[in-house]
Amino acid sequence: MVITSRSTINSVFFLILDFISVGCLFIMVGAEFLGMILLIVYVGAVAVLFLFVVMMLNVAEQKQSWFIGKKSTHIPTGLIVSVIILLELLVVVGGWKYKEDLMSSSTLLLSEISNTHQLGLVMYTDYILYFQLAGIVLLLAMIGAILLTFRERVGVKKQSYLNQISRDPSNAVELIEVKSNQGVKLDD
């Protein structure tokens, strides 16, 4: 539904539905921490930004549909990618058998601890280096995004909070005695 629906907004909504169902799958497998984090990060933050961008750009409805017999360049590329992913999946699922004895020997012993604790124990001890590296990659991406969009413009009016707060009546308001029929001349 994400790729077949014509309006971009609808496909974003279906994408959100996808994220939610992936979260539900995680919870059903027993990884409730991962499922919840997926909900918070993807559905709560990332998908909101998607929706934002799509709504702001006001993308017109796609003229090209998959089911109308027009020429489309997306189908071959999509097919190649999906075949590659299918092959990879087959390799992974096929390779699963070899790890079974490894699974039963070390991982299952820990299963009495809740999986949040388990995750923390592994993440912050054995894999601390990779964890920190992932963090640095994310930080770099963030800095890069800011650097790409940041440009200094001249002549923009900005509010300075310090000035706004530190104003006081004695130098902001002036009481002027106005004589009748003469008016006031302000020098500014």
Partner 1 sequence: MIEYLEILGQEIYKVIFLVVPILVSVAMIVWLDRRVWGLVQKRKGPNVVGPFGLFQTLADALKYIFKEIIIPASANKVVFILAPIVTMTLALVAWAVVPMSEDLVLANINVGILYLFAISSLGVYGIIMGGWASNSKYPFLGAIRSAAQMVSYEVSIGIIIINVLLCVGSLNLNDIVIAQKELWYVIPLFPMFVIFFISSLAETNRPPFDLPEAEAELVAGYQTEYSGMMYAMFWLGEYANILLMCAMGSILFLGGWLPLMDIYPLNIIPAPIWMILKILFLFLLFALIKAIVPRYRYDQLMRLGWKIFLPFSLIYLVFTASFLFYFDKLPKVNI
Distance CA 2, CA 188 (A): 61
Among 22, 36, 119, 122, binds partner 1 (CB under 8 A): 36
47 Cβ neighbours under 8 A, 6+ residues apart: 12, 15, 16, 19
In the window 88-127, what residues touch partner 1 (CB under 8 A)? 113-114, 116-117, 121
Using DSSP's 3-state secondary structure scheme, residue 144 falls into: helix
- Candidates 50-58, 70-78, 88-96, 124-132: pick the segment binding partner 1 (CB under 8 A): 50-58
Under rule CB under 8 A, residue 22 binds partner 1: no
CB of 113 to partner 1, least distance (A): 6
Could you write out the three-class secondary structure of 63-106?
CCCCCCCCCCCHHHHHHHHHHHHHHHHHHHHHHHHHHHHHHHHH
- The residue among 54 and 66 lying less far from partner 1, judged by its C-beta, is 54
Under rule CB under 8 A, residue 167 binds partner 1: no
CB of 136 to partner 1, least distance (A): 17
